[in-house]
Structure 1
Amino acid sequence: MPILRPSAPIARRSTSTIRSWRRPIRFPPRPPGTKKLPDNFTIRAYTEADAEAVVALARELQEHEGRVFDRLKPPESIGRWYVDGLLKEVQTHGGVLLVAANGNGIAGYANLLIGLSSADEPEEVPYTFAHVSDLCVGTAYRGNGIGQALMAECERRATAAGEKWLRLDVLAGNHSARKFYSNLGMEELFLTLEKKLM
């Protein structure tokens, strides 16, 4: 599974029992062909001990997306400031920075924001939604259902918070990410078009 950077989320579900940071949860049955999360992994809230691993994953994400969008900063420029930014988003909007962890470290992370509002869009009726601002699974762990499990936990938490919609952003040229999200039931909602002028 590729490294993915969303702005809102979704993932296939797993029948395995996964521990959240508070209590075990059971996901609905997996669609045919989806992978089960390895038993030795848990999805839990980020702790300060995870900072270095999340920075390393964010650098992988930056490198991957830099192949699709050439205006990103170089991966080595991503540092602790990036994690601090994710945590600030969570503090401002509500939500949680989640990690997929096992005894060997962190395999992936997802940043879930809850309670974002249409208030800045005067032509829209008032509503709120949840948004996954980042989703990343390390290269060595892709294809094991970890991204699906992170997205399922984001969806579970958003639903528990009373949100009706879950969003994310994805680069148009990141075809593997778009297919991943589509398989999770995500549909295109907004499109940003660009024309090079010089």
Structure 2
Amino acid sequence: MTVQVRVAGPEDRPVLLRFMAALQEYERALEANRTPGPEMAKPHLSHLEEEAAAHQGVMLIAEEEGKPLGFIAAMVDTDPGFFVAEKERRFGYIADIYVEEAARGTGAGQALMAAAEAHFKALGLTQVRLFAVAGNKSAQRFYEKSGYGLYEVSLRKYL
């Protein structure tokens, strides 16, 4: 069996909503400030679809023998201001990636990342960025194995 990646269509919305809710619930167990998955899935997916449409993005689904395994939402972003050199300001941005627990280790995540990276390369971009919840160590390990390294560190303090 081989993992295939394809562009998500309107008919994939129910599975994308399920994946989005599951991703949110996973992160919610790690970060208390997260909205419950079923509550945020529809508006957040709509937001991602709008952002992808407006910013040369793509929503992709990984599947095996027609069974959806996971998804990735990717779009082009630009650093604000002038602190980053002009040629480096535009970059690919991975907004969300999720692979069902039973499908982890099948290559679905790697296939999704490779497809998103190919999309960005075709647009002439030279870098991709993403964020991970600090407590999501498995995601961080996956990203590191995929060749990603630290770029910025975000800190917070509750008042």
The normalised TM-score by structure 2 is 0.92
What residue number does 2:156 align with? Answer: 194
- Aligned mate of 2:84, from 115, 124, 130: 124
What residue number does 1:92 align with? Answer: 54
Gap regions ≥5 residues in structure 2:
none
Give 1:103 shift: 4.1
For residues 43 and 37 of structure 2, what CA distance do their matches in structure 1 show? Answer: 13
- Aligned mate of 1:142, from 90, 104, 107: 104
For residues 164 and 134 of structure 1, what CA distance do their matches in structure 2 show? Answer: 20
Structure number having the greater helix percentage:
2
Is residue 2:149 matched to residue 1:184? no
For residues 134 and 155 of structure 1, what CA distance do their matches in structure 2 show? Answer: 14
- Aligned mate of 2:19, from 17, 36, 57: 57
Gap regions ≥5 residues in structure 1:
1-37
What residue number does 1:14 align with? Answer: none
Residue range with higher mean Cα deviation, 182-191 or 98-107? 98-107
Q: How does 1:1-198 map to 2 (within 5 A)?
A: 38-39=1-2, 41-114=3-76, 116-118=77-79, 120-126=80-86, 127-197=89-159
For residues 95 and 44 of structure 1, what CA distance do their matches in structure 2 show? Answer: 14
For residues 79 and 173 of structure 1, what CA distance do their matches in structure 2 show? Answer: 21
Give 1:124 shift: 2.5
How many residue pairs were aligned? 157
Shift in CA distance, 79/174, structure 1 to aligned 2, threshold 3 Å: closer
Q: Structure with the greater relative contact order (CA < 8 A, sep ≥ 6): 1 or 2?
A: 1
CA displacement 1:158-191 (0-9 Å, x = unmatched): 1121101011011111111111101111011111
Do 1:54 and 1:106's aligned partners in 2 also have CA atoms closer than 8 Å? no
The normalised TM-score by structure 1 is 0.75
Give 1:79 shift: 3.7
Shift in CA distance, 174/125, structure 1 to aligned 2, threshold 3 Å: same
For residues 180 and 103 of structure 1, what CA distance do their matches in structure 2 show? Answer: 24
Secondary structure of the structure 1 residue equivalent to 2:51: helix
Give 1:104 shift: 4.6
